Structure 1
Amino acid sequence: MGSKGRFVEWAVVGSDIGPLLLAATGEGLVSVVFHADDAVRGRALGRLAGQLGAELVEDASGRLAEPIRRLEAYFAGGLREFGLRLDWSLTTGFNRQVLRELASGVPYGSVVGYGELAGRVGQAGAAQAVGAAMASNPLPVVVPCHRVVESDGRLGGFGGGLETKRRLLELEGVLPPPLF
């Protein structure tokens, strides 16, 4: 076992936006990583082991069965709220506050501006800090940073790439599907 006697289960699952690496502790889902090919998976797992001080095991006890089922339902258009137990240990302070507000206060099919989200957590004028919180989100898709846009409606940035953000917003009906 890891230095704290903890272990993290992980699995790579296919999705409409490419392979996703999911990781869970006994507390809940702790990480979702986009574009989880072999190289990305190796780096992400190494980072997780160091950050959590835990041993990594490939989905040994089935901790990921429910998150996988719910992600499949989301991508099939049948799930609007994940309702999963989340382990917030990879984020702290302002970032955690912003991500929790995002998770609970920006529902499926809607968007919020960086500045508006800053105001919701009592930090009006901290739009750039909200952007940094989105960039450090350890649970994208489930904690929907793709729903945060610029005040003028432009997409803004996205750690999974703008095409991934567009596809997620299309899935949720915020953007129309491409014509071609």
Structure 2
Amino acid sequence: MQKIYYAAAETKIGKIYLAGSEKGLKMVALTPKEWHRFIQKAESKKAVSLIPDQSKLKSLEKGLKDYLAGRKVNFRQKLDWDGFTPFQKKVWSQMLRIPYGETRSYKWLAAKVNTNSPRAVGQACGSNPWPIVVPCHRVIASDGSLGGYGGGLALKEKLLKLERN
């Protein structure tokens, strides 16, 4: 049976929900809706045990709080890549290479993963289970507009502004 540890952290942007397994970080949810969807999916699997455990996720919680306080943080959490497509993994791996304080376009990211479809890249960004840690907020439209963001465009703008200062 796979054990999934979870916790919630109060931050400057509100409550963030965290989940991890022995393999690594499974989820960072920025909204209660995302979190409930994750929990429902996990509970539907008979081979999963959900365990509340703040201590297992303490270093990530501290990193997120430091980041949201305006400190540059290099997240080094191991990620649990199980259940994702090779394409998603390629897109997310490339996002990890976007430097703090910088942005890249969906088109740029599409070229890096050898596809002509910025839209497919946008869908992969939208399904990123580790926002902030895997910085999908740093991916914007070619015209400089924000594009989309699971936590909402206001939060995306706030994160980008935080990194610029």
What TM-score do the two structures reach when normalised by structure 2? 0.92
Residue from 53, 56, 80 that aligns with 1:59: 53
CA contact (8 A) 1:90 1:138 kept: no
The root-mean-square deviation of aligned C-alpha atoms, in Å, is: 1.8
- Point out the structure with the larger strand share: 2
Q: Secondary structure at the match of 1:30?
A: strand
Query: Match of 1:128?
Result: 119
- 1:27 shift after superposition: 1.1
Query: Match of 1:168?
Result: 159
Unaligned runs of 5+ in 1: 175-180
Q: Which runs of 4+ in 1 moved over 4 A?
A: none
Matched, 1:33 2:50: no
Deviation larger for 85-94 or 134-143: 85-94
Q: Secondary structure at the match of 1:87?
A: coil
Quick one: structure 1 residues 15 and 149, their matched pair in 2 at CA, closer, same or farther if it must change by over 3 Å? Answer: same
Deviation larger for 27-36 or 51-60: 51-60
CA contact (8 A) 2:63 2:73 kept: no
Residue from 19, 38, 51 that aligns with 1:23: 19
Unaligned runs of 5+ in 2: none
Matched, 1:156 2:147: yes
- 1:159 shift after superposition: 1.1
Query: Match of 1:69?
Result: 62
What TM-score do the two structures reach when normalised by structure 1? 0.85
AA in 2 matched with 1:26 = E
Matched, 1:6 2:2: yes
Residue from 64, 68, 79 that aligns with 1:86: 79
Query: Match of 1:44?
Result: 38
Percent identical across equivalent pairs? 36
- Point out the structure with the larger helix share: 2
CA contact (8 A) 1:17 1:167 kept: no
Quick one: structure 1 residues 48 and 139, their matched pair in 2 at CA, closer, same or farther if it must change by over 3 Å? Answer: farther
1:105-124 map, 5 Å = 105-123=97-115
Q: Secondary structure at the match of 1:14?
A: strand
- 1:136 shift after superposition: 0.6
